[in-house]
Amino acid sequence: MLKILDQIMSPKSIAIIGASTKTDTIGGIILKNIIEYKYTGKLYPINPKADQISGLKAYKSILDVPGDVDLAIIVIPRDAVFTAIDQCNEKDIKGICVISAGFKEIGKEGAELEQKLLEKVRSYGMRMVGPNCFGVINTADDIRLDASFAETLPVKGKTAFVSQSGALGAAILNLLEDLKIGFSQFFSIGNAADIKTETMLEYWKDEPNTEQILLYMEAISNPQEFAKLAKEISKKKPIVAIKSGRSAAGASAASSHTGSLAGADIAADALLKQSGVIRVTSVNEMFEVAQAFENCPVPKGKRVAILTNSGGPGIMATDAVCESGLEIAPIKESTKEYMRSYLSSAASVKNPIDMIASAPLDHYEKTIEALIADENVDAIMVICVPFLGINPMQVAQATMKIKDAHPEKPIISIMMAEGSFYREINKIETNIPFYQYPETGVNALSKLFAQYEWTQRPEGKEPSYSVNKAKAMGIISNALKEGRSQLTTLESIDILEAYGIRTCKYAFAANVEDAVKEANKIDYPVVMKITSTKISHKTEIGGVIVGINSEEQLRNEYKALLDRLKSKGLEDALDGVIIQEMVKGNREMVCGVATDPQYGHLMMFGLGGIFVETFKDVAFRVNPVTDIDVKEMVQSVKAYKLLQGARGEIPANIEQVEETILRLSQLVKDFSFIKELDINPLKISDKTGEGIAVDGRIEVNFEQAKQALGCCQISSGSR
């Protein structure tokens, strides 16, 4: 089916169904753009009321066209689209672009019509762009197709762009000169009924004129397929994406810690990270980053040399470099010695290299060449503040000439000049990106380095552990037979243990005498926790008592617990208590699983205990996760420094903590109906550094679990 996309993107013949004699209509503008962009194929305007349009013979119907047609562009009222599709089928046209609107974007009625349109298109073996789209563009010399209704003609480049918003696509095309970017291909998917972002990723994977891919997405329709394609493509071609809707709830807010944190845009952000996609937050940033990729090689390291003729911008650039995760390059002594031979005695050769305001053009040239030759430098930032007669255009041209001769390292220019410089530079061909402010340039450099890191990143593995799946299945089945989707604390901990997750020593006690007996076995101090099929949040009713140091204290605390339950009318809710060893450790982490309705299971790790929802120092990844995903996940949280050991504490057993997350991943792969899971806290032992689960909470999707486990005779009572 991808071959049909060639008929859409590189058609030898086009019919415009709805071509208009009026140049201010969409049908008229598309025809005008195709002609003005010098399309070399055959062009057939279709209009039942015209004999000729723009000097071309017009046809009453697509069926009247004498030759073959690769692409039909449909620009007619919605209700006429279906007849046009039928006629295209009679004509054996396989490539369809429906510009017409009035489908799912207007609501339920439109969505139903769009579904019928899709079914018709697929039954005919067609591929369809849209409906409600802006059109397609191909700037290849042998095609030169602008089948859009943009006001300005496209600029040729190495960048492919797919947009889910037609209006945004139009605005971008109109600003191409200012954005200093050219397109290889442009694709507006509109409502994406048939051809989606994933389709175009696959199409551009080996497209020879495309060196980078830009995406504007309002939704990721098939997260699994998107991730699979993006992971493969981003190793060869950078993918830069805006995913809008960052503030909208992406996952249902749930009652667990993990669920309440896994909202908004977290699932999409995690998926993009795992797929090697470079995420940006604005159109401005997208094209600033795209300029860097179009003009710079990917750096082989993070060491940046800053060259400036003004101290202030140099310091600002230094701050931005350090804050971005890049590093200030340690300039070699031989390079410094060489720079001292020609720079003013007032200049500083320590990075950032401040040549001072009076530095002439040849100081820029010599210093840039010296930094390119310095093996301690991975990337170069050239800052110019035009004063004391320095001409910014001369500096720009000199820098570009050096880049031509030495293309091996990325060079970016920060030209803090007037708008007239940028109007002038936009008119000429450039080989380096130009930015007005240091922070913008540093951000672009950081994205270049992120791409390098991604290309060097190992694939990662999904380990498989020996677990007691049958035991976990039995526990869940028993809960379902009682009509419960929420497992008790004891059941949850039993499942964690069945999956090899380190839990503290524990035992169930049905009464105070059993509690004393089990505490004596475990040894004091102990923790006592309520377990109940009716109470899920133990702390709210004082159901967790820590630091019990003797049998007498245990009996007193048990009686006090019963009194609290009685005062709340919950005396019948007590199923028993769990007696646990008291793990000594000041570091408390959290592990968990939440379910997003579109992306599936999200794995979570971060700072836990009472701080989990206060500081929200957590990281998420979409399951399944690899060992590399988990390693990055653990290292990305600020609390990682605590795990490394601080103030004399022994370092945490990081590998064992990572294994805990990987075992949870296996658990939710085995039981996909698990809705939420929390281990909070995962306490880091002061003695061994192990992450020990001292509490657990699991909830399943009742109907899905019942179907998966074949539990037909299950009560539908309390869940």
Inside any domain, residue 631: yes
Domain boundary among the residues 518, 549, 582 is at 582
Same domain, residue pair 447 and 574: no
Same domain, residue pair 202 and 327: no
Domain boundary among the residues 194, 210, 226 is at 210
Same domain, residue pair 340 and 412: yes
Inside any domain, residue 253: no
Same domain, residue pair 569 and 623: no
Inside any domain, residue 124: yes
The pLDDT tens digits of the residues spanning 87-97 come to 999 999 999 99
Q: Using alpha carbons only, how large is the chain's radius of gyration in Å?
A: 32
Structurally, how many domains does the chain consist of? Answer: 4
Same domain, residue pair 538 and 668: no
Same domain, residue pair 106 and 69: yes
The dihedral over CA atoms of 373, 375, 377, 381, expressed in degrees to the nearest 10, equals 10
Q: CA–CA separation, 71 vs 492, rounded Å?
A: 58
Same domain, residue pair 604 and 578: no
Q: How buried is residue 668: exposed, middle or buried, by Cβ count under 10 Å (0-12/13-18/19+)?
A: buried
Inside any domain, residue 276: no
Distances from the Cα of 695 to the Cαs of 331, 340, 528, in angstroms?
Answer: 52, 64, 11
68-85 residues labelled b (16+ CB within 10 A) or e (exposed): ebbbbbbbbebeebeebb
Same domain, residue pair 44 and 92: yes
**CATH at residue 601:** 3.30.470.20
Name the strand (E) or helix (H) holding 674: strand 674-684
The residue type of 318 is T
- Specify the pLDDT at position 177: 67
Same domain, residue pair 24 and 163: yes
Domain boundary among the residues 456, 477, 492 is at 456
Same domain, residue pair 163 and 308: no
136 in Cβ contact with 169 (< 8 Å) = no
Same domain, residue pair 10 and 106: yes
Q: CA–CA separation, 214 vs 233, rounded Å?
A: 12
Residues in the chain: 719
Inside any domain, residue 243: no
Residue 605: partners with Cβ closer than 8 Å, 6 or more residues away: 589, 590, 591, 592, 618, 619, 630, 633, 634, 637, 661
Among 318, 566, 338, 292, which Cα is nearest to 444's? 292
H helices of 53-148, in order, are 78-90, 108-123
* Cross-strand partners of 592: 604, 678
Dump strand ranges (E) for 355-496: 379-384, 411-415, 434-435
Helix, strand counts (H, E) of the chain: 26, 30
Domain that includes residue 74, residue range: 2-210
Count of beta carbons in the 10 Å neighbourhood of residue 596? 22
**CATH at residue 88:** 3.40.50.720
**CATH at residue 572:** 3.30.1490.20
Distances from the Cα of 529 to the Cαs of 193, 229, 492, 646, in angstroms?
Answer: 53, 47, 13, 30
- Specify the pLDDT at position 15: 98
Q: CA–CA separation, 356 vs 345, rounded Å?
A: 10
Q: What is the DSSP letter of 300?
A: S
Question: Which residues, given as ranges, of the chain have pLDDT below 70?
Answer: 1-2, 177, 246-264, 536-537, 610-611, 614, 711-719
Q: CA–CA separation, 213 vs 196, rounded Å?
A: 14
**CATH at residue 323:** 3.40.50.261
Inside any domain, residue 192: yes
- Specify the pLDDT at position 143: 93
Inside any domain, residue 592: yes
Inside any domain, residue 466: no
Count of beta carbons in the 10 Å neighbourhood of residue 240? 25
- Specify the pLDDT at position 332: 97
693 in Cβ contact with 682 (< 8 Å) = yes
Full-model pTM: 0.89
- Specify the pLDDT at position 675: 96
Same domain, residue pair 637 and 561: no
